[in-house]
Chains A and B, each alone.
Chain A
Amino acid sequence: MRKPCALLIILVLCVFCSAIAVPVAADGDTPGTNVTMEPTVTLKPVTAPTTEATTVPTTVKTTEPTTIPTTTVTTVVTTEPTTRVTTEPTITLVTIPVTEPGGGKGYIDTHCNVDGASVYFDGSYQCMIAQGICTVGVSPTGTPVSSITVSKSGYTTWSGSPAHMPSDGEHVEVYSTINPLSTPPTTVPPVQTGTIYAQSSPAGAAIYLNGNFYGYSPVTIPNLAPGSYSMKASLSGYTPDTQVLSVYAGQTATYYPVLQPSPPAPRSTGTVSVSSNPSGALIYVDGSYQGKTPMTVTLYPGSHMFRLSLAGYTDYTSTLYVNANSNQNLNADLTPAVYGTAQVTSLPGASVFIDSNSQGKIPSSGTLTIHNVANGNRLFKVTAPGYNDWLNTVYIQPNVVTPINAVLTQIGTNPTPVPATGGIEIVSTPTGAEIYVDNLFKGYTPSTLTGIAAGEHQVLLKYTGYIDYTQAVTVNAGQTTPLAINMQSAPTPTPASAPSLAIFIGGIVMAAGIGAVLRRRS
C-alpha cells in the first residue's frame, strides 16, 4: 500500500506545481480578449460634510387599545412640522380612563418631559410643569377644554386635546413631549479646492501639471479642483519623474519626487555655453535647431558647426571642436544685417521672387531694382505666363549693386532636354497597400504614379497581414503601365503552445514509473 500512496503524493505535488506555473504559460495561447482587466479604482474627492437642517413632518400614530372597562381605541395623530437635527422621536401618549360623566370638579394632569414648560388650555395660561406634571382642576360641566398647548422657549411646542372632560374627581392624563429646537447650523462654505505642494530632490526641477509647466520646485499649486493630476518633475541631467496625484478638497497633496541622475551617455560628452548679443538668437548645431541663446548645448566630442540666427542680424557661424568632459563658451556679437541691391533685368511684366517672396514685376524699362536685399546667397525666381521659370541662386554682396540677367525662354522651345518618363497605374486587392518603387515609398494603392523614368523598376507592395509582393515593371516613355496585383494573405503563425498539464503529469508519471520498476527489480 505504501507505493501507491507515495505515487499519489508525488502526483499531487506535480499537479500543485503545474497549477502554479501552467496558467501563466497558457498566456501564449490566450488572446487578449480573454484577459480580465483589473478593477479600476476611482478615487472620489472627499468633500467636507455639510450640515443641513431638514424639515421633516413627523407623523406619530399611537394605536393603543384599552380593554378596561370597555374596549376603546383611541387614536391620536400628531402632525408636527418641525425643524430639527436630533432624531429623538416625539411620542405622544394619551391615556384616558373611561368613566361616566358627572358634576363636581375634575382634573387634567398634563405630563411633560421638560420642567418649566407652560401649559395653556385653549390659549389661556394655566400652570408650569414641575416635577414632570401640571394638574389643573376643571369643571366637568363647564366649557370643555378643546386644546392643550405646552411650550417653552427654545423647545418645540406641543398641542393636543383631551378626549373628553374629566368627571367629578376624575384625573385625565395628558402626556406631552417637547424637544429642544435645533440651533441653526453655522453656514461654513465647504472648501471646494485643494493644493499641491511640490518639492523635488534636488530642488529646482521644472514642475508640470497635466503636461503644462507651472513653475520650479519647490512650488505650491493652489486652487485645484478635487481630482487626479498628472505631475512631472524635470531637471537637466536627471531622469524625469512622473506621478498621478489625487487632490482632495481642503487638503494639500504633496509631491516629493526624488530625481535620479540620468544614465551616462554612451560616451563622454562636452558642453558649449552659447550666448549672443543680443540674446534670443536661434541656435543651430550641425544644422539642427537647439534652442535660443543663452543656453548650454551638450555635444559629443568632435567638430561641430554653430549657426546663430536672429531676424535683422547677419547670421553668425562658427565651428568649434568640442572636447570630452569640458565646457566651452561661445559668445557671438551679432551684427546688424548688411544689405545689398539687386538689379534684375528680364521680360517686362515678369514677376520676380527672392526666397519665394514676391518683389514685384519687371517694369517696361526691363530692369527692376530691388534695394535692401540681405547679403548672402538668395534664390531668385522670375516667372512670366507662357515662359519657363527662371531660377538661380545669386550671392548678394553688401552695399553693392548686383546685376542679374534673367533670360526667359518660351514654353515649347525649352532647350533643356526633359528626360523621358512614363507612369505606373497600380491597383491591388486589398487596397491600401504601401507602394515602393526601387525601394522608395510612393503612396498607397490604388494609385497612378507618374514621372517614372523609362526603364525597368522594382515595384514592391506591402500590406500588414499579407505577403510582400515584388515585381519588375518596365516603364515606357509617355505610357502608363497598368499593374493589378492580388496579394496573398500571410499564413497565420501557429501560436506556440505552452507545455500542457497533461505533458507535465505524464512526465511525473513516467518518473514514478521508472522508480517503481527499479524498485521492483530490487
Chain B
Amino acid sequence: MTCSCSQPTKLWTAAVLVVIIIGALTTFAYTSEQNALKGATDMGMKATVGAMATQVHAGDLAGLQPGDETSEKYLAVAKSLRNMRSMDDNILNAYILKVYPNRTAIFLVDDLSPLDPQGSAKIGEVSTAPDEMEIFAALSGPTVSKQPYTDKYGSFMSAYAPIDDAVTDSSGNTVAILGIDVSADDYNHYTSQGGLIILTGLVSMILAVGAIFFFGTRREEEKRE
C-alpha cells in the first residue's frame, strides 16, 4: 500500500487531522469540566441549604399570618435566617416557602423583610420563581434550580430544602421549604472556569501543526541533499 500523494499534501493532511483531534479532545475536556463545576456548585448549594433547614424550628412558623411581618415571632425567624446566611456573603437571600399540593408556593418568611420591607416578599405572596418543580420536589429533599433565572427580585440561582418537624413529630413531616438565592452572575462565574483548557488546546494545536511542517520540510530537505 503505497501513497502516491506528494509531500506537501501529506503535511497538510496531517495538520488537518491534528487540528481535528486536538479540537475534539479540547471540546470534550472543556465540556466535562463545565459539567463537573456545575455539579460541584449545585451540590454545595444543596448541602448549604439542607444544613440551614435543619436549624429552622418548624414550630416557629406555626400561625404566621399575612400582616405579621413586624411581629416578634416573624422577626425572630427572619433574624435567624439572616444570621445563618451572613456566614456566606454569596448567599443573597434566605426565605421560607409554604408549598401546596397544587405546587403553589407562598412566602412565609423573607429574611430581608426587617431591613427592606418594601423590597421583600410579604407573607402570603406567591412565589414567581420559575423553579416550580424544584420547589415542589424539595418537599422530599434538597433541590437546586436547573439554571439561573430572573424574576422581579433579580437574577438568581436558588437551592431549596425541606424544613422537617423532626423534633415535635417523629415522623419527620415537612412543614415548609427553605430557599436560598445566589447571584446568577456569581454562579456563572464559578461554573465557567474552563478558559485554560481552551488555551491549552489552542497552544497544542499551534505546536503540533508547527512541528509537522518543521520536521516534514526538514526531512524533505534531507532527502534532496
Closest to B162 in A: A211
Interface mask (B110-129 → A, CB under 8 Å = 1, otherwise 0): 00000110000000000000
Residues from chain B with Cβ under 8 Å of A504 in the complex: 198, 202
The answer, yes or no, to whether B92 is at the interface (CB within 8 Å) is yes
**Within 8 Å of chain B (Cβ to Cβ): is A496?**
yes
Query: Nearest Cβ distance between residue A289 and chain B, in whole angstroms?
Result: 7
CB distance from A214 to the nearest CB of B (A): 9
Task: Say if the beta carbon of B220 comes within 8 Å of chain A.
Answer: yes
Distance to closest chain B CB from A233 (angstroms): 9
Determine which of B86, B103, B155, B184 lies in contact with A228 in the assembled complex, contact meaning CB atoms within 8 Å.
B103
User: Once the chains bind, are A210 and B101 in contact (CB under 8 Å)?
Assistant: yes
- A292 to B166 CA separation, bound complex (whole angstroms): 12
Q: Is the CB of A242 within 8 A of B189?
A: no
B15 close to A515 (CB less than 8 A): yes
Interface residues of B in 164-178 (CB under 8 A from A): 164, 167, 170-175
Residue-wise interface mask of B (141-171) relative to A, using a CB-CB cutoff of 8 A (1 in contact, 0 not): 1000011111000011100001010010011
Report how far A3 CA is from B6 CA in the complex, Å: 13
- The verdict on A518 contacting B213 (CB below 8 Å), with A35-B147, A230-B137, A498-B194 known, is yes
A503 touches B202 (CB 8 A): yes
Minimum Cβ distance to chain B for residue A444 (Å): 7
The complex places the Cα of A24 from the Cα of B33 at a distance, in Å, of: 11
B80 is an interface residue with CB less than 8 A from chain A = no
Tell me the smallest distance from the CB of A326 to a CB of chain B, in Å: 26
Given contacts A30-B188, A33-B155, A518-B213, contact A242 B170 (CB under 8 A): no
Q: How far is the CA of A497 from the CA of B189 in the complex (A)?
A: 9
Within 8 A of B (CB), among A167-193: none
Binds B, one of A12-20, A98-106, A194-202: A12-20
CB distance from A309 to the nearest CB of B (A): 14
Expressed in whole angstroms, the Cα–Cα distance for A22 and B201 within the complex equals 12
Interface size on A, residues (CB 8 A): 71
Determine if A389 is an interface residue (Cβ-Cβ < 8 Å). no
What secondary structure prevails in chain A residues at the interface with B? Answer: mixed
Please name all residues of chain A whose beta carbon is closer than 8 Å to the beta carbon of B210 when the two chains form the complex: 511, 514-515, 518
Given A40-B133, A244-B137, A498-B198, A511-B146 contact (CB < 8 Å): no
Please give, as numbers and ranges, the residues of chain B lying within 8 Å of A240 by CB-CB distance.
140-141
Knowing A28-B189, A37-B149, A499-B202 are in contact, say whether A519-B173 is a contact too (CB < 8 A). no
Q: Give the chain B neighbours of A518 by CB distance below 8 A.
A: 210, 213-214, 216-217
Roughly how many angstroms separate A291 CA and B99 CA in the complex, as a whole number? Answer: 27
Assess the B147–A37 pair: CB atoms within 8 A.
Answer: yes
Chain A CB within 8 A of B16 CB: yes
Inter-subunit contact A38/B147 (CB<8 Å): yes
Q: What A residues does B99 contact at CB under 8 A?
A: 210-211
Complex Cα–Cα for A243 and B143 (A): 11
B192:A498 contact, CB within 8 angstroms: yes
Take A21-B30, A38-B146 as given contacts and tell me if A496 and B189 are in contact as well, using a CB distance cutoff of 8 Å.
yes
| Residue B65 at the chain A interface, CB threshold 8 Å | no
Q: Which residues of B contact A498 (CB under 8 A)?
A: 192, 194-195, 198
**Pairwise interchain contact B140-A13, C-beta atoms closer than 8 A:** no
B76 at the interface (CB under 8 A from A): no
Cβ-closest chain A residue relative to B7 = A522
B205 to chain A, nearest CB (A): 6
Q: List 25 A-B contacts (CB under 8 A).
A: A10-B15, A10-B19, A10-B209, A16-B23, A21-B30, A21-B198, A28-B193, A30-B188, A32-B157, A32-B187, A208-B139, A213-B172, A242-B137, A244-B133, A441-B86, A498-B194, A507-B203, A507-B205, A508-B202, A511-B209, A514-B206, A515-B15, A518-B213, A519-B217, A521-B217
Ranked nearest first, the 6 interchain pairs of A and B with the lowest CB-CB distance are A32-B184, A211-B174, A32-B148, A28-B192, A17-B23, A232-B140
